[in-house]
């Protein structure tokens, strides 16, 4: 167990577009008595899909500002968003390892009244589940096993790659999410292109191409026998849940595939009342799966 | 703008991080790329980006809209047997395109929003309504972040690049209207 006190970095997509994910995160933190706090002063991570593509050095400085905000409170950063995780962890690793770069960044940060000493660790919320809480504790906490449920899992790119910076799981054959789902009693399938991007990253340049990628993945998951999709990233959730109807427009099998955020299933399994979790805010109806589980 | 100088800087920086010259043109990055698979390698081809850079021809790629199709999944970088950071190279080339005023509108709009509000998605009434239905408090509004970000944008190349994009767009619109006027008069 880590001794850290965590500064919770929720990002912007979860609180604004997918607040039910925030509920599931907060319920999980409370259930496992994790020492996590909301702190003032954070800004955009910034979004690794936009700002660094115009100026990656500016992105590093903005990211360092967030790290400095947590450092001043003596806290490490815990984030449930893959994009924020890639940006903040990538920056933290580069700035820890490269003193010259840190000095360069601090020259600019001084104009905002911040300084980053290079001490903050950044952890993904899902990483906390398997590293700090552990598969065993999770499995032991289950009172309503999700038996007879078969799902596809989609980890998302930005918790894994670039692996030399993020170093969370095998970047080509990750197993953590499969194991986390199985710890709740459900089964996972494997499908072709499991490691491919959800499509979200190419949205700013080509919306139709992004939807095509999403549609193909959904089809492959259903073909492999999945009754639902389990994921851990808000950007992937926007593609797979909010955009699902559009993504299925050009594929043959238009059956909807319910989408769950892993901590929602975890909460159901440990006995959090489903009414608390906001399932009605999903775009694709999850009732058929809930009816089976509850 | 000195494109050659920028390219030299990119090469020097990449060389410091990892040797781009170690690319032995195996094409694994193309096979790993989900965009290449869908658009066809004739449209999007990561190895050609590496090749052009090595041959000092990267400037020819900067005006190509396809440069922005990269979905940043880093599959190319991860699969490369020589550890060439292909997706990082593409990002550096996009930075260079931005310094010439070439960037997709959606990216510019979001970055401007980040500098105005401090976040890619700013708190909205609609978001707070959804939150209240779940018993969550409204998202706190804090403008300090945005002010700091504006200072950072000015101290780096970000502000200048955003202005360059605007300038280029204005020039293109003007050129278009002149053409239309000319067409009308003849």
Report chain A residues whose CB lies below 8 A from the CB of B70.
201-202
CATH of B3-99 given 1.10.300.10, 1.10.10.10, 3.30.2010.10, 1.10.1060.10: 1.10.1060.10
- pLDDT digits over A75-92, tens only? 999 999 999 999 999 999
A256 and A166 in a common domain? yes
Query: B154 to chain A, minimum CA–CA distance in Å?
Result: 9
- List the single residue in A44, A172, A203 with the smallest CB-CB distance to B114: A44
> Please, are residues B20 and B50 in contact by the beta-carbon 8 Å criterion?
yes
Per-residue pLDDT at B39: 96
- List the single residue in B75, B114, B130 with the smallest CB-CB distance to A281: B130
Contact between B108 and A54 using a beta-carbon 8 Å cutoff: yes
A118 and A20 in a common domain? yes
A201: Cα within 13 Å, side-chain hemisphere? 26
Q: Which of A94, A125, A156 is the last residue of a domain?
A: A125
What angle do the packed helices B158-185 and B86-99 form, to 10 degrees?
Answer: 60
Answer yes or no: is A151 within a domain: yes
> Please, are residues B20 and B89 in contact by the beta-carbon 8 Å criterion?
yes
Residues 6+ apart with CB under 8 A from A153: A177, A178, A181, A188, A194, A229, A230, A231
- List the single residue in B39, B73, B92 with the smallest CB-CB distance to A197: B73
Report chain A residues whose CB lies below 8 A from the CB of B139.
15-16
Helix (H/G/I), strand (E/B), else coil: A79:
strand
Q: Which of A82, A98, A125 is the last residue of a domain?
A: A125
Q: Is A199 on the interface with B (CB under 8 A)?
A: yes
- List the single residue in B39, B88, B103 with the smallest CB-CB distance to A209: B39
Domain ranges, residue A119: 6-125
Q: What is the pLDDT along chain A (294 residues), one digit of tens a residue?
A: 455 799 999 999 999 999 999 999 999 999 999 999 999 999 999 999 999 999 999 999 999 999 999 999 999 999 999 999 999 999 999 999 999 999 999 999 999 999 999 999 999 999 999 999 999 999 999 999 999 999 999 999 999 999 999 999 999 899 999 999 999 999 999 999 999 999 999 999 999 999 999 999 999 999 999 999 999 999 999 999 999 999 999 899 999 999 999 999 999 999 999 999 999 999 999 999 999 998
A140 and A258 in a common domain? yes
A157 and A94 in a common domain? no
Helix (H/G/I), strand (E/B), else coil: A163:
helix
Q: Is A206 on the interface with B (CB under 8 A)?
A: yes
ipTM of the complex: 0.95
Q: Which of A85, A103, A125 is the last residue of a domain?
A: A125
A259 and A211 in a common domain? yes
State the DSSP H helix or E strand holding residue A259, giving kind and residue range, or none if neither.
strand A259-261
A139 and A121 in a common domain? no
Instruction: Report the CATH number that the domain containing residue A40 is assigned in CATH.
Output: 1.20.1050.140
Per-residue pLDDT at A3: 54
A148 and A98 in a common domain? no
Answer yes or no: is A118 within a domain: yes
A141 and A65 in a common domain? no
* Residue ranges per structural domain of chain B: 3-99, 105-185
Q: State the residue for tokens 């800087």.
A: B9
Per-residue pLDDT at B183: 53
Per-residue pLDDT at B168: 96
Contact between A53 and B139 using a beta-carbon 8 Å cutoff: no
Answer yes or no: is A130 within a domain: no
Domain count of chain A?
Answer: 2
A156 and A190 in a common domain? yes
Instruction: Report the CATH number that the domain containing residue A141 is assigned in CATH.
Output: 3.40.50.11810
Phi-psi region of B74 (alpha: psi -120 to 50; beta: other; left: phi over 0): left
Per-residue pLDDT at B186: 43
What are the helix and strand counts (H, E) for chain B?
10, 0
Report chain B residues whose CB lies below 8 A from the CB of A23.
134-136
Q: B106 is written with which tokens?
A: 């959606």
- pLDDT digits over A194-226, tens only? 999 999 999 999 999 999 999 999 999 999 999
Low-confidence ranges of chain B (pLDDT < 50): 184-186
Residues 6+ apart with CB under 8 A from B60: B52
Distance CA A204, CA A241 (A): 18
CB pairs under 8 A between A and B: 191
């Amino acid at each position: 167990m880590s001794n850290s006190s965590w500064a919770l970095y929720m990002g912007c997509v979860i609180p604004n577009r997918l607040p039910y994910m925030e509920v599931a995160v907060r319920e999980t933190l409370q259930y496992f008595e994790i020492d996590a706090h909301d702190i003032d002063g954070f800004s955009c991570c910034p979004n690794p899909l936009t700002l660094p593509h115009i100026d990656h050095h500016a992105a590093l400085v903005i990211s360092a500002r967030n790290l400095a905000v947590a450092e001043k409170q003596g806290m490490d950063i815990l984030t449930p968003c893959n994009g924020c995780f890639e940006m903040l962890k990538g920056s933290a690793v580069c700035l820890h390892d490269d003193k010259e770069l840190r000095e360069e960044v601090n020259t600019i940060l001084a104009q905002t009244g911040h300084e980053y000493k290079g001490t903050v660790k950044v952890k993904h919320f899902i990483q906390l589940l398997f590293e700090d809480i552990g598969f065993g504790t999770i499995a032991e906490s289950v009172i309503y096993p999700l038996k007879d449920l078969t799902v596809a899992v989609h980890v998302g790119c930005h918790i894994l790659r670039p692996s030399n910076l993020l170093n969370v799981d095998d970047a080509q054959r990750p197993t953590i999410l499969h194991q986390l789902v199985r710890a709740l009693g459900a089964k996972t399938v494997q499908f072709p292109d499991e490691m491919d991007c959800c499509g979200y990253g190419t949205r700013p340049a080509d919306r139709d191409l992004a939807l095509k990628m999403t549609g193909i993945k959904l089809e492959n998951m259903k073909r492999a026998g999945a009754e639902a999709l389990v994921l851990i990233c808000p950007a992937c959730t926007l593609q797979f849940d909010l955009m699902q109807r559009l993504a299925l427009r050009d594929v043959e099998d238009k059956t909807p595939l319910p989408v769950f955020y892993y901590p929602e299933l975890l909460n159901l399994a440990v006995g959090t009342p489903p009414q608390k979790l906001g399932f009605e805010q999903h775009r694709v109806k999850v009732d058929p799966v809930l009816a089976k589980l509850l | 703008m000195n494109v050659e100088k920028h390219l030299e800087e990119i090469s020097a920086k990449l060389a410091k991080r990892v040797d781009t010259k170690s690319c032995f043109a195996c094409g694994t990055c193309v096979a790993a790329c989900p965009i290449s698979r869908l658009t066809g390698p004739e449209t999007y081809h990561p190895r050609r980006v590496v090749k052009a850079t090595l041959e000092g021809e990267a400037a020819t790629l900067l005006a190509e809209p396809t440069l922005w199709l990269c979905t940043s999944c880093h599959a190319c970088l991860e699969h490369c047997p020589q550890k060439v950071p292909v997706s990082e190279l593409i990002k550096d080339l996009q930075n260079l395109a931005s310094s010439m005023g070439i960037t997709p509108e959606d990216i510019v709009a979001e970055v401007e929003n980040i500098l105005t509000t401090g976040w890619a998605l700013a708190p909205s009434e609609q978001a707070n309504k959804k939150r209240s239905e779940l018993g969550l408090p409204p998202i706190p509004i804090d403008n300090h972040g945005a002010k700091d970000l504006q200072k950072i944008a000015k101290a780096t190349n970000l502000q200048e690049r955003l202005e360059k994009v605007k300038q280029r767009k204005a020039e293109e619109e003007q050129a278009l209207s002149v053409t239309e006027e000319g067409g009308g008069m003849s």
